[in-house]
Amino acid sequence: MSAPKIAFVGTGAQGAGIGADLTRAGLDVTFIEQWPAHVEAMRERGIEVRMPDETVITPVSVYHLCEVATLREQYDIVFVLVKAYDTRWACELIKPLVKPTGLVVGLQNGMSIDDVASIMGPERTIGAVIEMASNMWEPGIVNRQTPPSRAWFAVGSFDESSAGRAAEVQAVLSHAGTVEISDDIRSAKWMKLIANAGELVPSAILNLPLEDAMNLPGVLDFMIECGREAARVAVANGATLVPIFGMTQADVTGPDQYAEDLLGMVRSHFSLPDTKTTVLQDWQKGRRAEVNEVNGLVVELQKKTGGSAPANERTVELARRIEAGTLKADPSNVDLLLGVRAL
């Protein structure tokens, strides 16, 4: 069997770092990217990945989005790493270039797996969970805080039509970290959302690295409550509490405790003292963040059952004010976040 042709759609900090790992492993990898300066920088000098113990520069094959229509070869595996809210158009863009037997893997936050499947078909959809910390502030340079030795992924089939094919993705993705195959990838993605609900947006509202935000009085408890609300919503919507992040079934307790434990794993195993969440990175770059796809989803689904998720509701309200420009992300928002001051 010939080596698979692989494409990455969205080569920001996560996509470029992972794509570089696969390229250095000798795989046939194409980068597809929307930031023109980033494309030019990678063409000129390759992708530079700065990790805690080493810096590696890797020459890569890269195309801008506007050049996709000029591509003729089809791909066996396409990794999608655009923001969750961009999933549908990204899949439509790449659809003509995916082989009939190809696979599309959404390495994203949120529950984007259904968007991928609706466009690519369930038989070509592999769900995935990713846990690693990276950031990018300059074109062509990734600051990867979680090297391959500590990065963690899970992959799994969307349904029976793609059963058994997650192993194909595991084989190539293993060059970028530890990859587990999940027999319930939808639940695994919910578990990641539970962790994300606590960490991503609340710390960004305070304009602080995750660790600094957690150390403010009352904030960690608030983050845990966001996660607990998300866990209850997940279970109510059919998810099973399953181990992720390298945990085992013995580590899985009830929804409330497990939400706290998942956040603790992010803090202890996948973050550094200066790690900024993707939401804060987006806001500092003037971009919309995945608020609706994480905390917003918790609020939306809880309302459908006639309940409420007050911690997530408060988080979403403050985030929307920040994105509307009526509130500035700042540590002084802590009283608003914790409900000491009324919204």
Mean pLDDT of the chain: 97
Go through 125-134 and write b for each residue having 16 or more CB atoms within 10 A of its CB, e for each that does not: bbbbbbbbbb
The residue-averaged pLDDT of 223-235 equals: 97
pLDDT tens for each residue of 27-78: 999 999 999 999 999 999 999 999 999 999 999 999 999 999 999 999 999 9
pLDDT tens for each residue of 102-155: 999 999 999 999 999 999 999 999 999 999 999 999 999 999 999 999 999 999
Q: Where are the domains of the chain?
A: 5-183, 187-338
Question: Which tokens belong to 52?
Answer: 């805690």
pLDDT at 1 over 70: no
The residue-averaged pLDDT of 285-292 equals: 97
**What pLDDT is recorded for position 2?**
80
User: Looking at domain 5-183, which CATH architecture does it have?
Assistant: 3-Layer(aba) Sandwich (3.40)
Q: What's the first-to-final CA gap in the chain, in angstroms?
A: 60
Beta-carbon contacts of residue 116 (< 8 Å; ≥ 6 apart): 80, 87, 91, 104, 106, 125, 127, 158
Determine the Cα–Cα distance for residues 51 and 17; give it in Å rounded to an integer.
10
Go through 274-307 and write b for each residue having 16 or more CB atoms within 10 A of its CB, e for each that does not: ebbbbbbbbbeeeeebbbbbbbbbbbebbeeeee
The residue-averaged pLDDT of 307-326 equals: 97
Exposure on the CB side of residue 186, measured as CA atoms within 13 A: 15
Pick the CATH number of 187-338 from 1.25.40.80, 2.60.120.960, 1.10.3720.10, 1.10.1040.10: 1.10.1040.10
**What pLDDT is recorded for position 270?**
95
**What pLDDT is recorded for position 107?**
96
Rounded to 10°, the helix 87-94/113-120 angle is 30
Task: Tell me the one-letter amino acid at 81.
Answer: L
**What pLDDT is recorded for position 305?**
86
pLDDT at 18 over 80: yes
pLDDT tens for each residue of 209-220: 999 999 999 999
Q: Are the beta carbons of 172 and 77 closer than 8 angstroms?
A: yes
**What pLDDT is recorded for position 285?**
96
Q: How far apart, in Å, are the Cα atoms of 153 and each of 23, 50, 118, 337?
A: 18, 20, 23, 31
pLDDT tens for each residue of 146-189: 999 999 999 999 999 999 999 999 999 999 999 999 999 999 99
